[in-house]
Amino acid sequence: MDSHLHENTDEIVSFTSEQLIMVDSHDREVGYESKIICHEGQGILHRALSLFIFNSIGELLIQRRSGQKLLWPNYWSNSCCSHPRRGETTDAAAHRRLEQELRLTSELRYLYKFQYQARFGDIGSEHELCWVYIGKSSELVHVNSHEISDWRYISPARLNQEIAEKPEVFTPWFKMEWKRINRDYASELEKLNHAAQAVC
């Protein structure tokens, strides 16, 4: 059997050396630093993004993070999350990352931004000012296995139940974001669902 049949041919899209955008609490750029440095210790505040992508029947695409991830490996999280790089807008980074991780395109609607800090044992921390977007797509998902170990669509009701029953298997930012989306942006989810149904 040819060994190359088992090689991972997915593109490597994350690098510890990539330059992230450091910001202050008002999301003003204050400099640039490598991704690895930004996540060491308590973390350095930097700009980030989180995407919530729904299908035509209102289910959310969630992913299980690759076991190769430094922070929260093999945890379930939202559809896609990453960082804009030095010189890149957050909107451009959101579309780039959606394609790189899931091979999806979508119109994205910005909802809000928030600051949080979460530590992963002695390994490092997330310390981010994160932009949150929602979108919908009926395209086929093709995951990048360097980034994602598993994925599925889930109804909002089922997701709420799973988070309540086993919160420890989900990333901290995902739980914070999903709670706020449910609380403050239910009407946006309704509009997204109605628009998706109208297309079907």
Number of domains in the chain: 1
Copy the structure tokens of residue 180. Answer: 């706020």
Let me know if residue 6 belongs to a domain: no
Let me know if residue 12 belongs to a domain: no
Q: Is 84 in contact with 21 (CB distance < 8 Å)?
A: yes
User: Model-level pTM greater than 0.85?
Assistant: yes
Classify residue 157 by burial, with Cβ atoms within 10 Å: 0-12, 13-18, 19+: exposed
Tell me the CA distances in angstroms from 42 to 59, 110, 142, one per residue in order.
34, 28, 34
Q: Is 48 in contact with 131 (CB distance < 8 Å)?
A: yes
Going from the first residue of the chain to its last (200 residues), give the mean pLDDT of each consecutive group of 10, the final group possibly shorter: 46 73 98 96 97 96 95 97 96 97 96 97 96 96 94 97 98 98 89 60
Let me know if residue 54 belongs to a domain: yes
What pLDDT does 192 receive?
A: 75
What pLDDT does 9 receive?
A: 57
Let me know if residue 176 belongs to a domain: yes
Let me know if residue 123 belongs to a domain: yes
Let me know if residue 43 belongs to a domain: yes
Q: Which domain holds residue 43?
A: 17-199
- Predicted confidence (pLDDT) per residue in 22-41, tens digit: 999 999 999 999 999 999 99
Tell me the CA distances in angstroms from 200 to 55, 57, 58, 140, 197, one per residue in order.
11, 9, 12, 15, 5
Let me know if residue 30 belongs to a domain: yes
Let me know if residue 4 belongs to a domain: no
CATH of the domain at 24: 3.90.79.10
Beta carbons within 10 angstroms of residue 158's beta carbon: 12
For this structure, is 80 an active site residue?
no
Instruction: Name the active-site residue from 38, 80, 81, 130.
Output: 81
- Predicted confidence (pLDDT) per residue in 108-136, tens digit: 999 999 999 999 999 999 999 999 999 99
Instruction: Name the active-site residue from 128, 130, 147, 177.
Output: 128
For this structure, is 130 an active site residue?
no
